[in-house]
Structure formats: C-alpha cells, structure tokens
Structure 1
Amino acid sequence: MKKHLIITGGNKGIGSGIVSAYKNSGYQIISIARTLNPSDEYKEVTQIVLDLIITEDLENAFSQILNAIDKDAVERIVFINNAGTLGKIGRLENNSVSDIQSIIQINTITPFLLTSVFLKETQNWNCSKKIINISSGAAVKPYYGWSLYCASKAAIDMMTKAVAVEQETIENGTKIVAIYPGVVDTDMQTQIRKSKIENFADLQRFIDLKESNSLVSIETIGKEIFEIDRLENYPNGAVLNVSEYRD
C-alpha cells in the first residue's frame, strides 16, 4: 500500500520544502506547477506542468491525474493547495481588472475547483484522505496594500470550515484543514521587501524580519507542516498556525 502527496506549486518556495519532507517519509509525490524543477531531488517526483490561472480543461487535467492512481493500492492520499500569489501590492483602486482576476483566480477559484474535483474523484476510495490548504495569517489580519491577498485567503479558510462540515456527513469523508505557515524565507518575502512604503504600510516590519534572521527556512516549514499533518489532534475544518506547534 502506498502513500501519495499531490501538491500545487510544489517546485519552489514552501512547496519545495513540503515535497522534501513528504518524499523523505516515503510518499509518492505529484507536483503540479507552471514550471519544472530540474534539481536532482525532483528526479523521483512526478512533475506535471499546468498553468493554474487558466481554468480551461483544469478539471479534466486534475481528474486524469487522480484516475491514473491505483486507488486499490492507496493507503493514504494528501492533497495540498499550496500555489498562491501575493499579486500587486497597493491599494485596491490601484489594481487593474486583470490584477484582480489573476489574484482571485490562483488564490481562490483554482483551490476551490481542485478541491471539488478531489472530493468527487476520491469519494469512493477506501483509504485515508486529507486536504491541506496553505493559508495565511493575512486571512484574519488586514494589511494596507494586501486587500486582494487577505480576502482571497479568508475565502480559503471559510471554504475549509464549510467543506469539513459537509464531509463529516459522509462515510469515510475527507479531512480538510488550513495551515498558516507564518513568515518564510521565500521569493514572496523578497517581493514584499521591494515594495514602496506608500503601497505597503508594514514594509519596515518585513525588512526587520529578514535582517534579524526571523524568517523560517523552506526546509523547516516543510517538516513542520508534515508533522502537523501526522498529528491529527485537531478537528476536521481546523485552521492551524504552525507557530503554535513549535517548541
């Protein structure tokens, strides 16, 4: 019996840390991203190139990925909605229609769609099933210049809670949680630090986090998310903060 992980945005950043942690624990990995990771560590990872902003055929593509797995040989399957974007930083009125559409698409619409497909395709699988949504503390704390990011992550949190209520009524339903990884040393943090103060009022705080070595490495956060997944000491639909699980 095999354990499987399917993850979006698994080729870099937090996603690459998650891939490493699960792969080292014997999981078969499928990473869905816009580009390939050419490193040796990804030689045993099935990499599928998909642009998650483009919804045409996304449902069919994800269905095919799931249907290619031998469900009778699966002990456990985990699907992680990890891909996301901060988008253009600045007040809402300074975002174009295309800015708004792309951020909401990748952060909200795509995770909703993929979650729906996962639930539908695996509903009769007789194995342990789990969805982890990588969310953000920005879902509950508004930031000047991040209105789209904050709102899109808040939607993910509520989707997590509502889907859990639904799955609790189903025999062998899927567990679903959202996780706040905190401040991690990724390209997104680099993007934040390059902002202008007039577009992002909390700029200095994030510069200070980098200069004080307060950012968590992608390797560490990957291991922490894996360990939280293993614990299972929380209710279905829980919204979890990684920092609360650190010693």
Structure 2
Amino acid sequence: MKYAVITGTSKGLGASIAKLLMKASYHVIGIARNENKEFASLTSQYTHYKADLANMDETVTVMSQIISKLKQEKVDSLLLIQNAAMVTPIEQVGKQSVDALKNHVHVNLLAPMVITNLWLDEWRESKIPSVIVHVTSGAAKRSVYGWSAYGSTKAGLDRYTDTVAMEQDTLQTGNKIFLFDPSIMDTDMQGEIRSSDSSQFIDVDHFKVYKTNNDLRDTEVVAKVLVDRLLQSEKIVNGDYYSVKDIF
C-alpha cells in the first residue's frame, strides 16, 4: 500500500493535500492537534494522530508510533509532507515573548528537523525510498517587517532541506527531499496576518487587499500543484525549490 504522513491535516493546505492523496489511493496518516472531522469516517483511508509539534517529546513519541505501525504493513510507497507551521508572533523584535518564540521555532523548524532525522534513521535499512516535502515560504528569501521569526525559521528550513538532499545524493539512498512554496492562499494563517496591527506588521494593508481583490488561491488549487508533482516521481529533483508560481 502507498502511505503518506502529513503534518497539519486538520484544515487548510494539509487537509487539501490529504484529500487529493486519498483520491490517488494513498492511505494518509495525519498529525495535528485537532482531528479533521471530515476525515473521521474515512478509517480505511485516513488515520489521525494527535500531537502538538511545539512539544518535542510528544512529537518523537507520535512519530515513533507511526513508524512502528508502518513497519508492520506492506509498504510500497512512502511520502512525508511537513506542512504544519505558524506565523505568530507577528511583531517587531524587542516585543516578542520568549514562549511565543520558542513555540514558533519548535513548530516551524525544530519539529521538521527532528521528524526528518527520525524518519531517515528508522527507514535506513529499507529498500523503499521516501519522498519528503517541506512546505516553505517566499518569506525565507526576503526580510519582512514583523516577520523576523517566520522568515528566519523558513530560511533555516530551506538550508536544512538543501543539506539533507545533498547528503542523500552522496549516500545514494534513493530518498528525495524538496521544498514546496504555496505562495498566498486563503487560510486561517492569512486571517491571522490581516488581524495584526500595522505597528506589528507594516505590510498588513497589502494582505487585506489580497483578500478584498480575491487574490488568495484556494488551498485545493495549491494542493493539486504539489500532488501532481508527487504523482509524477520522475519529475522530482532532489533538493528542488518548487513553487505554485511555476504553474500560475
């Protein structure tokens, strides 16, 4: 059977990716703090694991449980899609709380690193190559007032992904890892951004205009771009930076 482990499946892009992969005959294992009620009855296609990715002990425990379960199954294909992220704190440096920064770094950067490390170690002896996707952002490549944490963690994720790709190529494992930039989407995260004050996020009015002008892409449209690439494995380039803007 084909399996896809996806973080952040309770809503937004993660939920849309999960739907499309289930249609493509993948069994999706979702990791999120909250269960997606739409998927609750799809037990033959979807399994939910509750985890707070800001908590590393919880993250390791849940991933170990998932890998242990997968090793008992007949696995033909493995995908790991690390989509979960947070944008808060949206605030100028000097006004951010330590707890907010710690949670942000844990969810956006440390959790993907810990999960990838555990995943590649546990499947080291397997003859089934994995494809790993890290969802990134254009904020990784430019400084945005009020987004010091978000831009920094996404930039760190980009460099980490590039390094993992280099190592896997050198080791000739057959594993592939790449970055996917979904650009601007109509999600709860966008709502958080629009609700910030201009003293926290100087470009807030631009994001309000995106919503007013209907410039935000639906998550299902964005998810299809990624899933189409995943279903054409011959087109996947290790270490690639693949953006929805390559299509639209």
TM-score w.r.t. structure 2 length? Answer: 0.94
Is 2:169 the partner of 1:196? no
For 1:17 and 1:28, locate their aligned partners in 2 and report how far apart those are by CA, in whole Å.
14
**1:166 and 2:167 correspond:** yes
Structure 1 partner of 2:6: 7
Q: Deviations over 1:81-106 (max 9, x none)?
A: 11110012110211011111111110
The letter of the residue matching 1:106 is: V
Residues 68-217 of structure 1: pairs in structure 2 closer than 5 A: 68-70=69-71, 73-217=74-218
Task: Work out the percentage of aligned pairs sharing the same amino acid.
Answer: 31
SS at match of 1:117: helix
| SS, match of residue 74 in structure 1 | coil
Q: Give the Cα separation in 1 of the matches to 2:41 and 2:222.
A: 18
Q: Distance in 2 between matches of 1:77 and 1:163?
A: 17
SS in 2 for 1:10: coil
CA distance in 2, matches of 1:71, 1:170: 26
Of 229, 233, 236 in structure 1, the residue corresponding to residue 235 of structure 2 is: 233
Structure 2 residue identity aligned to 1:79: L
Q: Secondary structure at the match of 2:206?
A: helix
The equivalent of 1:50 in structure 2 is: 51
CA distance in 2, matches of 1:145, 1:128: 39
Q: How many Å apart are 1:188 and its aligned residue?
A: 0.3
Give how far 1:197 is off: 1.1
- Whether the 8 Å CA contact 2:49–2:62 is kept in 1: the answer is no
Determine helix, strand or coil for the equivalent of 2:178.
strand
Higher RCO by CA contacts (8 Å cutoff, separation 6 or greater): 1
Q: Equivalents in 2 of 1:96, 1:127: separation in Å?
A: 43
Q: Secondary structure at the match of 2:76?
A: strand
> Structure 2, unaligned stretches of length 5 or more?
none
Do the aligned partners of residues 103 and 93 (structure 1) sit closer, same or farther apart at CA in structure 2, a change above 3 Å counting? same
Taking structure 1 as the reference length, what is the TM-score of the superposition?
Answer: 0.94
Aligned-residue CA RMSD (Å): 1.6
2:126 and 2:153 map into 1 onto residues whose CA distance is: 30
SS in 1 for 2:131: strand
Q: Which runs of 4+ in 1 moved over 6 A?
A: none
What is the rounded CA distance, in whole Å, between the counterparts of 1:221 and 1:150 in structure 2? 21
- Matched with 1:224 is 225
- In the TM superposition, what is the alpha-carbon distance from 1:40 to its structure 2 partner? 4.9
The offset of 1:133, in angstroms, is 0.2
Equivalent position SS for 2:127: coil
Q: Alpha-carbon deviation of 1:56?
A: 1.5
Determine the structure 2 residue equivalent to 1:242.
Answer: 244
What's the CA shift string for 1:52-88, capped at 9, x where partnerless? 1111243233122112114772221000111110012
Q: Which moved more, 1:119-128 or 1:109-118?
A: 119-128
Partner residue in 2 for 1:30: 29
Q: Assess if the C-alpha contact under 8 Å between 2:6 and 2:30 holds in 1.
A: yes
